Structure 1
Amino acid sequence: MKVLVTGANGQLGQDVTLVFAEAGHDVVSCGKKELDITNLEHCSRVISSHNPDFIIHCAAYTAVDAAESDIEGAYLVNAIGTRNIAISAEKMGAAVVYISTDYVFNGASEAAYVEYDETDPQTVYGRSKLAGEQMIRDFCSKWFIVRTSWAFGLHGNNFVKTMLRLGQEKPLLKVVNDQKGSPTYTVDLAQFLLNLISTEKYGVYHASNCGSCTWFEFTAAIFEEASAHLGLDITAQLQPCTTAEFPRPAPRPANSTMDHLAIRLNKMQDLPHWREGLKQFMLDMKQHPELYLK
């Protein structure tokens, strides 16, 4: 199968490219230089030239705080860019996998969110990603919308790498303990996407590593796994704090946990527990020490 990956130089895009190529698919990797998703004509021309069976749309504006003051930039990429992908894919008869986010919910629920809960984004980023979801629904006949959360991987910057660095540099780290979510290892997510496209069970899916934790609990686990598998000397003392102590331009959801109802209903294999994903990340990182402080 021929698969075109947008945002192929990003954290998830690189793992999707590797996982799909290793599975034997013909993968076309498109970064910003190869594919300007904000230009409909260019988008249509590039996609028609490759004629893919599937498009895994990883490209996105993900700077949550910056989006609050760069509204046009966020919507240009996440809404208009996604519309361009959707229209171009439909012309070629290609199915689309759109990577979305837990930020489409307001984060106020005490329970984990299922795919069919009402959306209520509280940030420009969340609203622009929800607009992208609507573009996929409006212009594609074959689509998967996959919402994920708290992603981390070997490539690029993320929370795990930041904590590994700070844990070795700072004597004290205060980490938020009143926001709950599900960390997601991008390799596990890429593997789920690989399995997903082998089906015709189109629709909305929540796909994160199973289980949940707070950022403070996640950091404690990061330090434990890094000490066990990377032999790092983590000297920082961890201290829990509240969201109010670290105000940000964009409000963070108190509860980002998503229930995987659609995965169960469609009898698909779920992602591993987040702790297993974190352990595998450390083991993979051990094989690539040049990556872990980048």
Structure 2
Amino acid sequence: MKILVTGYTGQLGYDVVQRGLENGLSIVGIGSKELDITNETAVHRYVKELNPDAIIHCAAYTAVDKAEDNKKECWDINVEGTKHLAKAASDIDAKFVYISSDYVFNGEGEMPFKETDKVSPIGYYGLTKYEGEETVKQLLDKWFVIRISWVFGINGNNFVKTMLRLAETKKELSVVGDQVGSPTYTYDLAKLIIDMVQSEKYGVYHASNEGYCSWAEFAQEIFTQTNFNVKVNSIITDEYPTRAKRPKNSRMFKEKLSENGFTPLPKWQDALKHYLNELNQEVR
């Protein structure tokens, strides 16, 4: 099976390529330097020449706050770029995996969101991810939409790396405690995506590590597992204003995975432990 992976220079795209190679698949990872996905002609030419059996679309504009001001760039990448790739996939009858986000929901309440729940994004980034979903559904028959949250992986910046960096100089940190969701370890998610793309169980899925926590609880677990003596003060969202509004409830139901024969991702605490070991090995 030949697979094209966009966003190879990012956290998820990098791990998808690594897991694909480990599974003996013919897999090509590209970044924006190799292909500008906002250029429709270039996308169609590249995909036609490569002729993959599947496209795993990990590339995205993910700067949530900047998206509120850089709307055209965000739209061009997340919606137009996705449209170009989806059309190209349709032309060669390739499967398509689109990576979406918990930001398509309004983040209200405390119940986990189901795949079938109404989407109602509260920020521009979330809007573009939702529009990307709709584009894929309209243009393709063989598609997977995977909504994820709170991503961390070896290849890039993330919350875990930020906390570890701050712990080098800080003995006390204030972290938001009224936003609750599930961290997603790209190593675990990539294995699921590789399994999924080799199936024909199409549809919308929620995929993050098992269990829920607040950002403050996530930070505390990072320091506990790394033996950093840092006090975490849990604060409310209003005490940490950001350009874009954040969903307070990012909980998502993930039962559809097991219902379709896929293995749920490990508990987020176990994922964090694995990731910290991965970081240590990289340092050595």
TM-score (norm 2): 0.98
* Structure 1 spans left out of the alignment, 5+ residues: 228-233
Aligned to 1:242: 236
2:16 & 2:222 partners in 1: Cα distance?
23
- Give CA-to-partner distance per residue, 1:213-265, whole Å, 9 cap, x none: 000000011111223xxxxxx24321111111001010111110111132132
CA contact (8 A) 2:223 2:229 kept: no
- Give CA-to-partner distance per residue, 1:8-31, whole Å, 9 cap, x none: 111111111101011100011111
1:109 & 1:82 partners in 2: Cα distance?
30
Root mean square deviation of aligned Cα: 1.0
Partner amino acid for 1:286?
N
Moved over 3 A (4+): none
Shift of 1:180: 0.1
1:16 & 1:183 partners in 2: Cα distance?
17
2:277 & 2:166 partners in 1: Cα distance?
20
Shift of 1:145: 0.2
Aligned to 2:154: 154
Aligned to 1:222: 222
Aligned to 1:145: 145
CA contact (8 A) 1:55 1:97 kept: yes
Indicate the percent of aligned positions where both proteins have the same amino acid. 46
Give aligned pairs, total: 284
Aligned to 1:255: 249
Secondary structure at the aligned position of 1:49 is classed as helix
Aligned to 1:70: 70
1:186 & 1:142 partners in 2: Cα distance?
23
Aligned to 1:283: 277
Aligned to 1:165: 165
2:118 & 2:109 partners in 1: Cα distance?
11
2:263 to 256, 269, 273: 269
1:143-222 counterparts in 2 under 5 A?
143-222=143-222
Secondary structure at the aligned position of 1:9 is classed as coil
Shift of 1:71: 1.0
Secondary structure at the aligned position of 2:38 is classed as coil
The answer on 1:90 being equivalent to 2:90 is: yes
Does 42-51 or 266-275 show the bigger shift? 266-275
- Give CA-to-partner distance per residue, 1:178-216, whole Å, 9 cap, x none: 000000110000011011112100000000001000000
Shift of 1:167: 1.3
- Give CA-to-partner distance per residue, 1:21-73, whole Å, 9 cap, x none: 11100011111111111011100001111100010000000000000111111
1:91 & 1:265 partners in 2: Cα distance?
31
Aligned to 1:230: none
Shift of 1:267: 2.7
Partner amino acid for 1:99?
I
Aligned to 2:27: 27
* Structure 2 spans left out of the alignment, 5+ residues: none
Secondary structure at the aligned position of 1:169 is classed as coil
2:230 & 2:109 partners in 1: Cα distance?
33
CA contact (8 A) 1:43 1:88 kept: yes
CA contact (8 A) 1:169 1:236 kept: no
Partner amino acid for 1:245?
E
Secondary structure at the aligned position of 1:251 is classed as coil
CA contact (8 A) 2:67 2:124 kept: yes
1:22-61 counterparts in 2 under 5 A?
22-61=22-61
Shift of 1:289: 1.4
1:109 & 1:5 partners in 2: Cα distance?
35
The answer on 1:118 being equivalent to 2:118 is: yes
CA contact (8 A) 1:115 1:261 kept: no
Partner amino acid for 1:279?
K
